């Protein structure tokens, strides 16, 4: 049984502009789809960009079969679609985005921007795998180079 831990807080501004969604895939409740977006605070539209990126990534992930989501290449497409949606919205600001799918046997996803995810594999072996952040070179979610991992 997976356990999920999250932490988010506002930076040097009063409002937290992050978005986080974790939900089972409609076709397979054993496949969890997770999206994390860190909207840039201190500028307009960060919260809107983060929410739009998460919602668009969810729609893309839920339109695929769960087995497809364990292919890291699928996440490149999903995050690219989310980026296009954020870029097309004149009210949206800037955000990072992580998308992943996890089953009891596999984990795959991609990240864009300076956010990161950590997978704790086993408390007995004390192994963990960090999904490294990627340098942000773009004003929108995934027009920069991201990291795909499986």
- The domain segmentation of the chain, as residue ranges, is 18-149
Task: Say what the pTM is.
Answer: 0.77
Closest CA to 116 of 139, 92, 135, 102: 135
What is the architecture of the domain spanning 18-149? 4-Layer Sandwich (3.60)
Reported as type and span, the H/E element at residue 114 is none
Where are the alpha helices (H) located in 17-146, listed in sequence order? 46-62, 72-88
Rounded CA separation 60/28 (Å)? 15
Please write the tens of the pLDDT for every residue from 90-124: 999 999 999 999 888 888 888 888 776 666 565 55
Decide: residue 62, CB within 10 A, 0-12 exposed, 13-18 middle, 19+ buried.
middle
Residue 147 pLDDT: 45
pLDDT of residue 49: 94
């Amino acid at each position: 049984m997976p356990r999920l831990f999250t932490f988010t807080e506002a930076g040097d501004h009063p409002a937290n502009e992050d978005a986080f969604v974790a939900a089972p895939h409609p076709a397979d409740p054993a496949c969890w789809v997770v999206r994390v977006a860190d909207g840039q605070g201190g500028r307009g539209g960060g919260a809107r960009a983060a929410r739009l990126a998460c919602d668009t990534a969810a729609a893309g992930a839920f339109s695929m079969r769960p087995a497809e989501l364990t292919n890291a290449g699928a996440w490149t497409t999903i995050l690219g679609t989310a980026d296009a949606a954020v870029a097309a919205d004149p009210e949206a600001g800037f955000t990072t985005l992580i998308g992943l799918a996890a089953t009891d046997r596999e984990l795959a996803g991609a990240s864009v921007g300076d956010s990161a995810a950590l997978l704790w594999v086993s408390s007995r072996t004390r192994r963990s795998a960090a999904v490294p952040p990627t340098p942000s070179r773009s004003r929108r979610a995934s027009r920069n180079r991201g990291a795909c991992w499986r």
